[in-house]
Each structure stands twice: as C-alpha cells, then as structure tokens.
Structure 1
Amino acid sequence: MRHLFYQHLVITVLAVLVANCGKSETDGPPIGPNPDNNEVSFTDKDATAAYNNFNNYFYSSNDRLYYGSTEKKNIGAIWCQAIYWDMAMDAYRRTNESQYKKLMDDIYEGAYNRYDKFNWNNKTEWFIYDDMMWWIISLTRAFEITKDNKYLELAKSGFHRVLFGPSDGSLDYDKDGKVYKGAYDEVNSGLFWDFKRTGKNACITFPTIIAAVNLYNLTGEKDYLQKATRIYSWAVDSLYDKTNGRVADNNVNGRKGWDNYTYNQGTFIGASVLLYKATNNLGYLENAVKAADYTKSAMCNADGILPAEGDWNEQGVLKAIFGRYVMMLINDGGKQEYLPWIQHNVNKAWGNRDPSRGLTYRNYNVVCPSGTIQSYEASSAVAIMQLCPPGKK
C-alpha cells in the first residue's frame, strides 16, 4: 500500500527499501490547540449529517468517485476509494435509504469506468497487491448486500489474481532469473505487498485473510478457509507479538518492522474475529482482544483517543479501517466493553468538527482546520459513525 510504505518504512536488507508516497508538494494545514476540549454525544442524526457533509465536500458526481481534498482538483487514491465505497454501503445499511443505495451503485460504476473495468491484469491501474485486496473485500460486501453476482465474480477473480498471478499468463516480476507470479509464497506462506516481492506486509496479509473468510462464508468453498488459516498461522509468527498484541507493519527476510498503525491492528482484529466465527476457536478471539488492548493502551493518549495519523497523506483513512474491525470485535466477538472507548473517540471528533462545514479531522483532539483538508483525514470519524451506535446521553 503506497500510502504507508513510500513514506514511513525504510528497511535495509540487501539494500531493500520500502517506502510510501505520502507527502504532498505543499504542507498540510496547521494543527492548532483545542482549548475548549470539545466533546458531544453524537446521535444517529449526526451520523447522517456527517456523511452528507463528507459527500458535499469530496464527492465528484461526474467521476462518481472522491476527490483527494476540498480543492476538488484530483481524484483520491485508488485504494481509498474502496474505503469510501464501504462508507456508502454502511450508510445504506444503517439507514436503509435509497439515496445511499444509489450512491453505492454510482461509486461502483465510477470505479468500473476509471479502473479499466476492474481488469485485474492491468498493471498500470493495479501495481500493488494490497490496492487490489481492499477492493476485493469491498466487492464481497457489495455482494452480501445486493446478491448481484457481478460483485462476487470480480471478488473471486481478483482474489485468485492477487495470490497466484495474472490470468493472462504474464508475470508480475521476471528479473535476474527470478520469476514471480502473485503475492502468495506457496513454499513459505505469507504474502508480498508488491510485485517485486520486497517484503511481506500486514497491509496485504490480513486483508487477504479477511477476503478469504468472506469468500468462504459467501461460497461455502473450504479452500478459502484453508488458505486463511494457513496464512494466519504464518502471520502470527511473522507479523505479531504474542506477548502484547502488537502487529508489525512488515517482515523483510525475517526482520519485523515494528511501526504502529491503527489499520494493521484493525485488520488483524478483523481477521481474528472472522476466523473465530468460522471455526469457533477461542484462540482467534483472544488474539483479537489482545490487539485491541494494545491499541488502546499503547497507541492512544491518556484519554483513550486514537492517534492522529495522516500528516497530509493517505494515512488519514487508517482509523476508518480500524473502526470497522474493532466494531466487528464488539458486535461479532461479543466484546461490548470496547464500545464506550469507540463512542468516546467519535464524540471527541464530532465535537471538534469544522463548525461551518461540518467536516471532521484526523486529529480528534483539535478543532478541524477551516482551510483545505484531505478526504483521507476527514473520513475516519465519519466512517466509524456509520458503524458505531450512539451512546446514551
């Protein structure tokens, strides 16, 4: 996923360098103090307003996708569009309003037209494995909602392409006698995040497990579950600290990169809960709880507020991913004790929204800047509001 690795990850192993395209040519808006320490008790009506505000300032009705910022100059990153599509589906599920069903359909059409009709063999549109996998997960959700087989078929073909290479027989990498097809290491397990196989990363590993279990649940084909359990077993040994619940960002030739990111904690939680539900193995649920505890105790501030990821880059969307899967732990894992923590984060973010535009910000502890902001950094609290029920006033 270019948004993290082109900016923050530098690992030297035989001169291997994995980095992320984060910074813009211009610095992001300044972050000011929050003397009022605003917090409210958000309502279901607020969740609708927050989502409508997000769409008003970032959605392109012509492209049927989302701009990267309030300047409305360029369409945002390909993988983030999948997260925004998830938001439309969640808004539809929450409200059952037809306008959000139409928006869900429109976003799919916008992506279909822009990304070569989801031609997974197109290595210009799809040049990193995890960019594909985020869409594959979203496609499984779209099928679950609509039962439209086009979504399921695209999810299945995309899943196979990521793991085992292009269906047209071409190679992802062929250099110096090395021939690679797909992300999956069939010998040692685990998945590489890029076509050149420079490292095995959480951003592809745990989303692949999530997609695999989703496909198993939708099709009943046990091969998906077998792949998920095998990859998970490798990942617990290679991308996870069993003592404290911390999820590593990457593993390059056996060396773990211990950068903390909420989406890695989140996708690990999601993969664990899904496997728990599919197998009734309590060990998976225990892992999810440990990862949630680490996020709360080691990554949040003393007030339990999640970190302000996304300094003018795509990382602003990471908490949206975390929020989805911690809510899965709460609802499907039966861990209601985490709900007040998530509600507290949403209340703080919504209380600190831009008073004129109603936009939320990546840093929940400060008032949203009034100038140009990115869709990435405005998205996470809105996304969580579509999933998290309001607390009692």
Structure 2
Amino acid sequence: MRFKTITAFSASLLMMASCGASHKATVANDAFAVYDSFNTVFLDSAKYIYKNTTKDEAAVDRWNGAAAIWCQPMYADMAMNAMLLARKNGDKENEAKYRDLSNKIIDGNIAHYLNFDFDNNDTNKGWFIYDDIQWWTITMARAAQVLGREDCRELAEKSFARVWYGSPRVGDTGSYADPAKGLGGGMFWQWQPLEKPNANAADHGKMSCINFPTVVAAMLLYDVAPENRAADPNPEKWTNNYGDFVRPHYETKGRYLEMAKEIYDWASENLGDMQTGMISDSSHGGHRGGHPLIYNQGTFIGAGALLYLATGDKRYLDNAKAGADYSINVMSAENGVLPWARNHKNPYDQGSLEQGVYPAIWAQYMDILINDCGQDQYREFIADNVRQGVSNRNGAGICDGEMDKKTPDDVLVGSYAASSLPSLMLLFPEYNKEEKK
C-alpha cells in the first residue's frame, strides 16, 4: 500500500511538473510569435539591421529606411533575450535559432556602421554623439556575457574609452566632465561642432541619457573584465589645442566599478530626486530641466540594480525601487500603461518616432530589478501592459507603443514603438492570469 501511495504521489508530481513545463512553453511560444511578427515586419534580412517604419522596404542608411543607430542595439538585445528565454525553458531548437539571429544582427550592425570604428564621425553610418556610442557599449558587453563573444568585449571596451576620453581623430575632449579640470562632474551629452569640436565646458548639457547608460556600461564591463588584469601599459596619447590626452584601451575591473560609482553619485544628485524616484532629462550649468522620460527611469533603475548586485549596498536598491515606483505610479497613472513620449502634434517626426523605443529600454532594466533583485511587486503592472498589447495588435501582429489602443492595419508604425510589446514579453512571458493559477 505504501508503495502504491508513493507511486501515486510521484505520478502527481510528474503531472504537475509536466503541466508547469507545458505552461512555460505556451507563454514562451506566445512571446516568440509576437517577436517573430516584429522581425517579419521590420528586420531587413539582407543586411540584418532594422528598418525605420512599416513604409520602408529596406534599411539602406540613416536617410533611407534604416532605424536610428542608437536604437539598433535595443533590437539586438531582444534577440539575445529570446535566446535566453528559450534556454531557460530547455527549448534547444529556439535557443539555436535565436542565438544565430543574435549573431547575425550584431555582425550586420558592425558591417553597416563602419566596422564599429568609433573614431569615425560620419553622420550617416558613423558616430556623432556620445550616447549613441554608449548604447552600443552596453549591448556589446551583453553580447560578451550572453554569446561569449570576445570580439564584442573588445569593442565594448573601445567604445567606452572613446566616450570617456575623447578621440584623437575627431578632436573632442571626451564625455567625462572631470571635476579636477573644473568641469563639474558627470558626463557631457555631445561634442559641437561635429567636424571640428570645441572643448566641452562645465555649463554644457549633461543628459540622463548619457550619464545612467555610462553607469550601466561600466558595470557590465566590470562583470566581463578579466579578474587580475593590470592597467593598460600602452594607452593612446595625443596632443591638440585643448591639451594632452591619454586614452587606455581598457580599464581594470576595479576601475570600471569606481567609474560607475562616481557617475552614479553625480547623476543621482544632479539629475534625480531620490525621495520621489523622478529623473530629470538634463542638467545645464547646474540647473536640471526637462520632464521625466521612461527610458531615463529605466537606465536609472538598471544602474542602481547592477550596483546593488555588485556591492550589496541597499541604497542602490532603494533608489532603483523608487525609480520603478515613480515610473508606474506617476508616469503611467493616466492610462495604466507605459507612456510613449511621442509628440502628438507631429507623431511621424523622426525624433518623435524614436521615442517609441523608450518602454523597451525600461523593460530591459526592470528585468534586472525584478528577476535578479527579487522585486516581484512590479510583475502585475507589466503583465497588464502585455495583456492589453496582445489584444490590440493589428493584422500583422504588431502593436504600436500605446498598448491600450487598437493598432489599425493602415497606420504607419515605427519599429521603435512596435518593439515595446515583444520586449516586455521576452523578459516577462507570464501574463495570463488564468494560466498562472
């Protein structure tokens, strides 16, 4: 009798495990289906970079159908997230499929953007603003982690150094606002003019979109840097009208952590309100300004979460949670869904279209806060966004960025806003209340 009871109990456990595995496969397949629809519509499979909108037949270049250089890395992240979701569920077929896609997207972007020569400031296929480069630093560091690509780690370290220290070829003075040089701390957003830049000055713009991504980039490089690496013995050196410059090819592991902490502390004080969790868009001459944007909330959340995981300092986690709370309780309060900051007076302006990628960036860093830092209280908000987005797709399986509204079949949709739903689903595939029970 005891044997029969144990056997029956074991069979029950097996059935429960089987149901759990079946459920995981179902919700993952939902996510893959939405993601595959996104790729069918927007991926230029001849080049493996993404198109700008549904009206574009090919991603030729910046001026002809290609999505913005700074948004392409978000799409590479999506492919890696699909691979990781398949791996988590033991789905070897889809893991191989999305690994291959991840590599093709990364290689396609490297080929298109001048072999990632970060000192080439060509405004069509090159690099002309600091945060564009730093977004790619983050994704290349992730590719080193997720895909094991050593070439991507080397590219990430090159791009980080180019942002921080400047370029001998371009002649800019670098994004880092060195306090020792009277520049006040933090990271500058741009160099101007693009061809023959002036030196940055303390009152120039220091945006959230370069400061918090710099923290994230430094933390990811801290993770992938060799443990016992010594400082670069042969850094690049040059002299121009603004002084003498030194640019290491890479930093030590400890130095990346120091850089992350320094920029985080400056940016939190000068761009953020740690009581409310609100992140301002920019600081000019010590005066913060600009309304909060969901992608800046996201990178602030990610910066704090990564520093917490590395140091155990609860201050970073508390700040990250405050940023998430503000994102949801204040910024998303009107309609209960993540806000797309488009200009409704001119929704098809390129700058307005690109803002559609903001929720995908936020999702990337909420993944760290929820799944790595154990903050499950935010899952239901995301699940509700996904449920609305899934029900409001058009005939091509695409949902525009406003997930509480039906996407018509005949409206122009940017790849940016359309990335919101698949990005959320690949990171948080559990969204159906009935199935979860």
| TM-score bracket, shorter-length normalisation | 0.7 to 0.9
Q: Is the 8 A contact 2:121 2:170 kept in 1?
A: no
- Once the two structures are TM-superposed, the CA of residue 304 in structure 1 deviates from its matched residue by 2.7
What's 1:251 paired with?
Answer: 283
Q: Is the 8 A contact 2:295 2:359 kept in 1?
A: yes
Q: Does 1:274 align with 2:306?
A: yes
- Once the two structures are TM-superposed, the CA of residue 359 in structure 1 deviates from its matched residue by 0.6
What's 2:21 paired with?
Answer: none
SS at match of 1:210: helix
Q: Does 1:91 align with 2:82?
A: yes
What's 1:12 paired with?
Answer: none
SS at match of 1:48: helix
The ranges of structure 1 where at least 4 consecutive aligned residues each deviate by more than 3 angstroms after the TM superposition are none
Q: Which amino acid aligns with 1:66?
A: Y
Q: Is the 8 A contact 2:297 2:324 kept in 1?
A: yes
Q: Which amino acid aligns with 2:187?
A: L
Q: 1:120 aligns with which of 118, 129, 145?
A: 118
Q: Which amino acid aligns with 1:80?
A: C
Partners of 1:298 and 1:145 in 2: CA distance: 34
Structure 1 stretch 363-372 or stretch 274-283: which is displaced more? 363-372
Partners of 2:35 and 2:147 in 1: CA distance: 21
Q: Which amino acid aligns with 2:397?
A: G
- Once the two structures are TM-superposed, the CA of residue 206 in structure 1 deviates from its matched residue by 0.4
Q: Is the 8 A contact 2:31 2:429 kept in 1?
A: no
Partners of 2:113 and 2:427 in 1: CA distance: 28
Partners of 1:376 and 1:287 in 2: CA distance: 28
Q: Which amino acid aligns with 2:39?
A: N
- Once the two structures are TM-superposed, the CA of residue 383 in structure 1 deviates from its matched residue by 0.9
Q: Which amino acid aligns with 1:102?
A: D
Matching of residues 59-208 of structure 1 within 5 Å: 59-73=43-57, 74-96=65-87, 97=94, 98-124=96-122, 125-166=126-167, 168=168, 170-172=170-172, 181-187=173-179, 188-196=184-192, 197=200, 198-208=204-214
SS at match of 1:78: coil
Deviations 1:226-256 (A, max 9, x none): 0000111111110001221100100011111
- Once the two structures are TM-superposed, the CA of residue 381 in structure 1 deviates from its matched residue by 1.2
Partners of 1:290 and 1:270 in 2: CA distance: 12
Partners of 1:159 and 1:231 in 2: CA distance: 14
Higher relative contact order (CA 8 A, sep 6+): 1
Q: Is the 8 A contact 1:128 1:194 kept in 2?
A: yes
Q: Is the 8 A contact 2:209 2:296 kept in 1?
A: yes
- Once the two structures are TM-superposed, the CA of residue 145 in structure 1 deviates from its matched residue by 1.5
Partners of 1:191 and 1:303 in 2: CA distance: 34
Partners of 2:312 and 2:82 in 1: CA distance: 30
Deviations 1:118-158 (A, max 9, x none): 00100111001000111110001101112221000000011
SS at match of 1:306: coil
Q: 1:360 aligns with which of 357, 377, 399?
A: 399
Partners of 2:120 and 2:176 in 1: CA distance: 19
Aligned residues: 342
Q: Which has the larger radius of gyration?
A: 2
SS at match of 1:386: helix
Deviations 1:73-105 (A, max 9, x none): 411111111101111111111114222111111
- Once the two structures are TM-superposed, the CA of residue 169 in structure 1 deviates from its matched residue by 5.3
What's 1:330 paired with?
Answer: 370
Q: Which amino acid aligns with 1:82?
A: P
Partners of 2:120 and 2:377 in 1: CA distance: 45
Deviations 1:161-187 (A, max 9, x none): 100012x45412xxxxxxxx1100112
Partners of 2:146 and 2:427 in 1: CA distance: 15
Unaligned runs of 5+ in 2: 1-25, 58-64, 88-93, 193-199, 228-252
Q: Which amino acid aligns with 1:146?
A: L
Partners of 1:129 and 1:252 in 2: CA distance: 16
SS at match of 1:211: helix
SS at match of 1:390: coil
What's 2:33 paired with?
Answer: 49
Q: Is the 8 A contact 2:79 2:98 kept in 1?
A: yes
TM-score normalised to structure 2 length = 0.76
SS at match of 1:251: strand
SS at match of 1:122: coil
Matching of residues 363-382 of structure 1 within 5 Å: 363-371=402-410, 372-382=412-422
SS at match of 2:427: coil
Q: Does 1:304 align with 2:322?
A: no
Deviations 1:245-286 (A, max 9, x none): 100100011111131210000000000000001111000000
Q: Which amino acid aligns with 2:407?
A: C
Q: Is the 8 A contact 1:309 1:363 kept in 2?
A: no
Q: 2:292 aligns with which of 249, 260, 271?
A: 260
Q: Does 1:341 align with 2:339?
A: no
Partners of 2:31 and 2:134 in 1: CA distance: 27
Partners of 1:379 and 1:389 in 2: CA distance: 15
Partners of 2:324 and 2:277 in 1: CA distance: 8
Matching of residues 210-225 of structure 1 within 5 Å: 210-219=216-225, 220=227, 221-225=253-257
